[in-house]
Structures are given as C-alpha cells and as structure tokens.
C-alpha cells in the first residue's frame, strides 16, 4: 500500500485503486461492461453520486479491466463482470501507481509537503496534456481518472473541457463527481452519465466487513450502517475512534427531551470539543433526524403546533454555520441545542 497525503485517501483504509471488491452498483458495472463489449463505448463517463459510495472504486475497477483486456472484440461472451485478479500484472502496476497508461488527476500533497491543495489546478492539467500527447506505453488505451471533478477550478475545468472536445484516439476519461450540477454544462454534455445510488443498509454492512484493515463487530456494523446515509466512507469514519458509541450517546439524550441531563451534556460537549468534524457532523445528523421524526409524528397537529420545530431548526442551522465559520467552542453549542430543543418540546405540550 502506498502511503500518501491525499484528499481521496481515508486513513486506515485502502485507496480505491487498491480495492478489488465492489460493494453494490451491479447495474452500473454491467452498463460499463456492455458498452465496452459492444459499439456504445463512450470516450468519457461521468460517474456521479454522493461521496463515499464507491464511485472511485468503480472507476479504477473499469480502468483495470480495460487495461487488462485492451481488445473488446476478444472478450469471452461469458465474462460476467469487471473483475481482474489482484495478481494480474496490470493490477500490480495500478496498485503501485506505476501503470504508464493510467493517470489519476486528484488533490495530493506535493513531494516533501504535508498540505493538500484546495483544488485541482490548471498546472495539474498540463500533466494530462503531456500524458495524452505521448504514445500509450502498452500500445492500447490511455485512461485518465478525475477524482473528483468537484475539485476542479475554473481554469482546470476549461482545460479538461478542451480534451473532452477533441479526445485523442483510444482515450478514456472516467470522471468521478459528487455534485454533477456544479460542473460546467459543456463538460456534462460531452460525457455519458452513470449515476450511482447510495448503498443500502445491507450493502453497507457487507462493505464494512470487507476490509481486512478494519474489524467491526456485526452488531456495531448494523448500528453504523443506519447512520452512514448510504456512504461506506462515512461508515468507516464513524467506526474510527468509537464514533458509533458517540452517536448512540447523542440519540440517548435526544430521547430524554424535553428533560435534560446536564452531566451527560457535559460529557457530549467534552467529546465535541476535540474539533473532530466527523463527530460534529454526527451530532448534527442525530439532531436533524430527531427534528424530522418529531415533525413526521406531528403532521396531523397543524402548522401552529409544528412551528416551534421549524424555529428551532433555523436556530440550530444558523448556530452550526457560525461554529464552523468562526471555529467557535463546541461545548456551549451542545447546551444551546438541547436548551432550544427542550423549550420547543415544552411549547408543543
């Protein structure tokens, strides 16, 4: 495993190029295989969907398959999916980041530096121009994976567009994007779109159990999957450092409302004070789900009785944005949130 300081790598988990297991997305995988096997192979694919659901894993899986099978006419009809053995020479070179015909465009710290750049700059795009301007090292396809297109700035997006407008022969662009609506419409129009859906709870449980590097008990995996919102990456983040236990503690205190336990809130505030963004997100997710559940339960009560819930959500949303923007202390925020929720609950009784 190559150790890198990159935006697309999660500590303690393999990089997507090192993953040989694809969780879910069977229909999308078949679409890629059918297109490659037939006459519908497009030079650019926009693989879209929420972050952490396997888009990059699918992109590397397809790239590995194409490079291992450069002539689609010679594919056996019985080939069921995009599997390539980890022992295959193509797989080994991709894992090592050393395949001459695969280029990954991503946010990664420069050699000798710790800071990850904020975007994919136009300077990085010049590497792609050189890559496609040379002869394919293996005499076949040249593949570029963009992970993720959300990180392109205006200049690099325009540079990518120029390549998509006049693609070199036997070139393939696999463009991962979390929010395709923010991409240049001209980029979207030159790609075949392949949308991926969030993973189901069962798929998330299977995914969490598929990592040799991460050991999660079955009962904890189910609890994590319920909170991961279809994202395997998010599930792994929750699993790291006992985040599932933290989320459960938040839910326990929400269930007490409108009563509150100051000692328990102090404990939650102490954990949030560590400036862990994943825990902060989990806290807000639990609060959001609590408010939504309260609204659903009170749909027949009329707008007047639901008004306190709407008001408290606006307060929490505004305060959370201020905490993030100004890097404010998070412990007082916990007491604010529970105080507002308790008051909203009393107004509705």
What is the residue-wise DSSP string for 119-162?
A: SB-HHHHHHHHHHHHS--TTSS-EEEEEE-GGGB-HHHHHHHHH
Domain end position, chosen among 144, 176, 195: 195
* Position 10 in a domain: no
Whether residues 220 and 184 fall in one domain? no
Going by pLDDT thresholds of 50, 70 and 90, the confidence category of residue 2 is low
Q: Does 170 share its domain with 244?
A: no
Predicted confidence (pLDDT) per residue in 220-245, tens digit? 888 889 888 899 998 988 887 678 88
Q: Please check whether residue 11 lies inside any domain of the structure.
A: no
Greater confidence, 156 or 137? 156
7 lies in some domain: no
The verdict on 221 and 312 lying in the same domain is: yes
CA distance 273 to 331: 6
- Verify that 268 and 176 share a domain, yes or no: no
Rg (CA), the chain: 23
CATH of the domain at 50: 3.40.50.300
Distance CA 290, CA 88 (A): 49
For residue 48, the surrounding DSSP H or E stretch is strand 44-48
DSSP per-residue letters across 170-210? TEEEEEEES-GGGS-HHHHHTSEEEE-PPPPHHHHHHHHTT
**Regarding predicted confidence, which is higher, 77 or 34?**
34
pLDDT of the residue at 258: 93
d(CA 38, CA 249): 53
The residue out of 175, 195, 215 marking a domain boundary is 195
Question: Helices marked H in 240-276 — which ranges?
Answer: 243-256, 262-272
Find the angle CA(207)-CA(212)-CA(216) to the nearest 5 degrees: 60
Number of Cβ atoms within 10 Å of the Cβ of 152: 27
231 shares a domain with 144: no
Q: Which residues have C-beta within 8 Å of that of residue 327, sequence separation ≥ 6?
A: none
Both 27 and 118 in one domain: the answer is yes
pLDDT tens digits, 268-298 = 999 888 777 778 988 998 899 899 888 888 7
Per-residue pLDDT at 247 exceeds 90: no
Q: 331, 285, 328, 293: which is closest to 309 by C-alpha? A: 293
pLDDT at residue 303 tops 80: no
Domain count, the chain: 2
Give the dihedral of Cα atoms 108, 68, 126, 151; nearest 10 deg. Answer: -40
Same domain? 244 vs 224: yes
Are 117 and 168 members of one domain? yes
d(CA 47, CA 176): 5
Q: Same structural domain for residues 207 and 261?
A: yes
Q: What pLDDT does residue 299 have?
A: 76
The residue out of 143, 175, 195 marking a domain boundary is 195
Q: Is residue 45 domain-resident?
A: yes
Is residue 135 located within the same domain as residue 259?
no
Q: Is residue 240 part of a domain?
A: yes
Polymer length of the chain: 349
Mean pLDDT computed over every residue of the chain: 89
Residue 1, pLDDT above cutoff 60: no
Contact 55, 22 (CB under 8 A): no
- Number of other residues whose CB lies within 10 A of the CB of residue 307: 13
169 and 28 both lie in a single domain: yes
* Whole-number Å distance between alpha carbons of 305 and 69: 63
* Cα–Cα distance measured from residue 81 to residue 76, given in angstroms and rounded to the nearest whole number: 11
Rounded Cα distance, 2 and 25, in Å: 26
Q: Does residue 8 lie in a domain region?
A: no
Q: Is residue 68 part of a domain?
A: yes
Q: How far apart are CA 10 and CA 21, in angstroms?
A: 16
Domain span holding position 242? 201-348
CA distances from 80 to 75, 83, 191, 234 (A): 11, 8, 25, 30
Q: Nearest Cα to 203, choosing from 47, 53, 17, 42?
A: 53
**217 with 181, same domain?**
no
CA distance 25 to 36: 17
Residue at 171 is within a domain: yes
Query: What pLDDT sits at residue 194?
Result: 98
């Amino acid at each position: 495993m190559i150790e890198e300081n990159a935006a697309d790598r999660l500590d303690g988990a393999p990089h997507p190029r090192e993953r040989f297991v694809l969780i879910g997305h069977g229909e999308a995988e078949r679409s890629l295989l059918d297109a490659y096997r037939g006459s519908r192979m497009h030079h650019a694919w926009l693989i879209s969907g929420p972050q952490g659901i396997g888009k990059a894993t699918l992109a590397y899986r397809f790239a590995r398959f194409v490079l291992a099978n450069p002539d689609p006419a010679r594919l056996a009809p019985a080939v069921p999916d995009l599997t390539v053995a980890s022992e295959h020479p193509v797989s080994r070179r991709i894992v090592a980041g050393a395949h001459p015909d695969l280029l990954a465009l991503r946010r990664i710290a420069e050699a000798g530096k710790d800071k990850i750049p904020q975007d994919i700059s136009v300077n990085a795009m010049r590497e792609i121009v050189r890559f496609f301007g040379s002869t394919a090292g293996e005499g076949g396809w040249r593949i570029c994976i963009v992970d993720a297109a959300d990180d392109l700035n205006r200049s690099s997006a325009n540079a990518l567009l120029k390549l998509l407008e006049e693609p070199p022969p036997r070139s393939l662009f696999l463009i991962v994007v979390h929010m395709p609506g923010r991409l240049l419409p001209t980029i979207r129009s030159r790609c075949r779109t392949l949308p991926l859906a969030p993973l189901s709870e069962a798929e998330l449980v299977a995914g969490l159990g598929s990592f040799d590097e991460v050991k999660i008990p079955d009962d904890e995996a189910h609890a994590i999957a319920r909170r991961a919102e279809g994202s395997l990456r998010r599930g792994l983040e929750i699993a790291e450092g006992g985040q599932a236990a933290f989320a459960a503690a938040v839910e326990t205190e929400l269930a007490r409302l409108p009563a509150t336990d100051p000692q328990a809130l102090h404990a939650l505030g102490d954990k949030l004070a560590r400036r862990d963004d994943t825990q902060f997100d989990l806290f807000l997710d639990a609060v959001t789900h609590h408010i939504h559940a309260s609204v659903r339960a009170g749909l027949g009560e009329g707008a007047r009785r639901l008004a306190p819930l709407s008001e408290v959500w606006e307060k929490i949303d505004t305060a959370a944005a201020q905490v993030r923007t100004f890097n404010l202390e998070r412990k007082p925020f916990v007491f604010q949130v529970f105080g507002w929720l308790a008051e909203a609950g009393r107004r509705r009784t």
